[in-house]
Structure 1
Amino acid sequence: MRRLPIYLVLDVSESMAGDPLAELGHTMESIVDSLRQDPHALESVHLSVIAFAGKAQLIVPMVELMTFYPPRLPLGGGTALGAALDELMTRIEVDVKKTTADQRGDWEPIVYLLTDGRPTDNTDHAIARWQRHFASRAHLIAVTLGPAADLALLKRLTDDVVAMETASAEALGRFA
């Protein structure tokens, strides 16, 4: 069966300490709960979590929706969005099965990028690489978690930029 890979790319920088981190966890759980109510999603969705602060790290490798358990999210200094994009692109290359003459590949991946701030690393190379090689084969939804998010930068990645204040986590699940 074809899989629908969904990546949660989560900002866990120090500005997320306290209530924002709890809200991030709640948002992740709400997206997962929304997906679990869809019979088609139960059969096809596979999830992975990448967290980023001063560096990017794969927290949960690609797993079936029903076996996904929301991880404990680490906090760190910095907001290495460029590194997170690089890790995401690596994971897409490794995880997503391509169509061959013998079998159909996975569906186009969906990426939820949740952030509250501005990158502390250089994102130009990663954004250019995303636009050249991945934007046409993955659907990225950028979700801002507060007024300090760099909207101009996120708009360079995707046209789908939503503010968590105006979109419920359940509504985010409808992008899948």
Structure 2
Amino acid sequence: MFPVFLVIDVSYSMAGEPIEAVNAALPDLKAAIEDDPTVGELARVAVIAFADTATVVLPLSDLQYAGLPLLEPGGATNFAEAFRAAREEIERAIRGLGRGSRFYRPVLFFMSDGMHVADEDWRGPLRQLTSPDWPFAPEVVAFGFGAAEAEALGTIATRYAFKANGADPAAQAREIISTLVRSIRTTSGSLRPDGDGGLVVDVDRSKFTPLPLMEVRE
């Protein structure tokens, strides 16, 4: 089983065309899982929406049998809430598989169009999420657009960080979701029962700028 966690910013800056673009593109993920037996067999997907609070709008599920949520815009942007909710859902979902269940390392795709504006420092919850001492720590791929800061994205990511090119937020959001769909499909196809294979992020380099990874500062 390949567990995938989509952590999506739904703060007020996402209202209108950006969140509409995300909602319109998410069904492509369900179609990819339904149409490709390899993806359908391996991939399980959860969706966590965050603004000033974070909500698991879709627990880890087989999208062949689960409906997709309709995301709605909320308040201000709080990364700390997103990371706490993600850690709790990963823990719940993986432990819920039962003793002896086999799974590949979780992958978390983080998507935001803005900056953390809450008073709480988000780096503490991020360290807990990505700690090598936690057996379920995910690989994190961060995608940003709009007002998202390169330094924050590079700090959040453990493997890859990207900032979408262009000036149309709806087009950027749509391209990020399309990239997630391709990456989940390609990664699922690369995984082998012996543990070989691994995360593949299928990015159109003409539409994204790769960002350097940063250490999580105290």
TM beyond 0.5: yes
89-98 vs 54-63, which moves further: 89-98
Deviation by residue 1:95-137 (Cα, 9 ceiling, x = unmatched)? 114999x724321112111110001232121122233245984
- Match of 2:213? none
Aligned residue runs from structure 1 range 153-172, under 5 A = 153-158=152-157, 159-164=159-164, 165=172, 168-169=178-179, 170-172=181-183
Match of 1:113 among 89, 101, 110: 110
Give the Cα–Cα distance (whole angstroms) in 2 for the partners of residues 84 and 30 of structure 1: 24
In angstroms, what is the RMSD of aligned CA positions?
Answer: 2.6
- Match of 2:146? 147
Q: Secondary structure at the match of 1:72?
A: coil
Residues 13/98 of structure 1: CA separation in 2 closer, same or farther (3 Å cut): closer
Once the two structures are TM-superposed, the CA of residue 51 in structure 1 deviates from its matched residue by: 0.6
Give the Cα–Cα distance (whole angstroms) in 2 for the partners of residues 106 and 98 of structure 1: 12
Give the Cα–Cα distance (whole angstroms) in 2 for the partners of residues 139 and 13 of structure 1: 24
8 A contact 1:14–1:78 mirrored in 2: yes
- Match of 1:138? 138
Larger Rg: 2
Task: For 2:35, give the aligned amino acid.
Answer: Q
TM-score by length of 2: 0.69
TM-score by length of 1: 0.83
Match of 1:18 among 16, 19, 30: 16
Residues 71/96 of structure 1: CA separation in 2 closer, same or farther (3 Å cut): same
Task: For 1:171, give the aligned amino acid.
Answer: R
Gaps of 5+ in 1: none
8 A contact 2:45–2:62 mirrored in 1: yes
Larger RCO: Structure 1 or Structure 2 (Cα < 8 Å, ≥ 6 residues apart)? 1
Task: For 1:87, give the aligned amino acid.
Answer: A
Match of 1:49 among 28, 47, 50: 47
Q: Secondary structure at the match of 2:13?
A: helix
8 A contact 1:98–1:104 mirrored in 2: no
- Match of 2:35? 37
Task: For 2:94, give the aligned amino acid.
Answer: V
Task: For 1:115, give the aligned amino acid.
Answer: S
Q: Secondary structure at the match of 1:70?
A: coil
Match of 1:76 among 69, 74, 77: 74
8 A contact 1:47–1:68 mirrored in 2: no
Give the Cα–Cα distance (whole angstroms) in 2 for the partners of residues 63 and 98 of structure 1: 12
Residues 95/128 of structure 1: CA separation in 2 closer, same or farther (3 Å cut): same
Q: Secondary structure at the match of 1:9?
A: strand
Q: Secondary structure at the match of 1:59?
A: strand
Residues 156/175 of structure 1: CA separation in 2 closer, same or farther (3 Å cut): farther
Aligned residue runs from structure 1 range 62-73, under 5 A = 62-73=60-71
Number of residue pairs the alignment of both structures matches: 172
Gaps of 5+ in 2: 165-171, 189-218
Identity of aligned residues (%): 22
